[in-house]
Amino acid sequence: MKIPILSTLLVIATLCMGQASSSVDFEDLPVAVSRSLTSYFPGSRMITAEVDGDDEDAEFEILIKYKAIKLEVEISADGTITGVDLEK
């Protein structure tokens, strides 16, 4: 009886986790995302980028070096910056 319950819980947990993030090259970012980065953080250098979701629901998490600091910038597919975190 314990095994079916455990299996069911594992399936539910997997479904709740959603899609895994996938890496994105700077050249593959939507134009709106690239423009937001270059407008708000001129001269920044992208270190890594990941995307969660797809199409217009996509949320990009981009790690950049801006001046002497590293920032994680969250940007929606339409170019709206939804968050900025200082990376240590």
Distance CA 79, CA 71 (A): 17
pLDDT digits (tens, 9 = 90+) for 30-69: 999 999 999 999 999 999 999 998 877 899 999 999 999 9
Domain spanning 20-87, CATH architecture: Roll (3.10)
User: For position 57, what pLDDT does the model report?
Assistant: 87
pTM: 0.74
Q: Percentage of the chain with pLDDT > 90?
A: 64
DSSP conformational letter for 13: H
Q: 5-14, 18-27, 51-60 — which is least confidently predicted?
A: 5-14
Q: What residue segments make up the domains of the chain, in order of their start?
A: 20-87
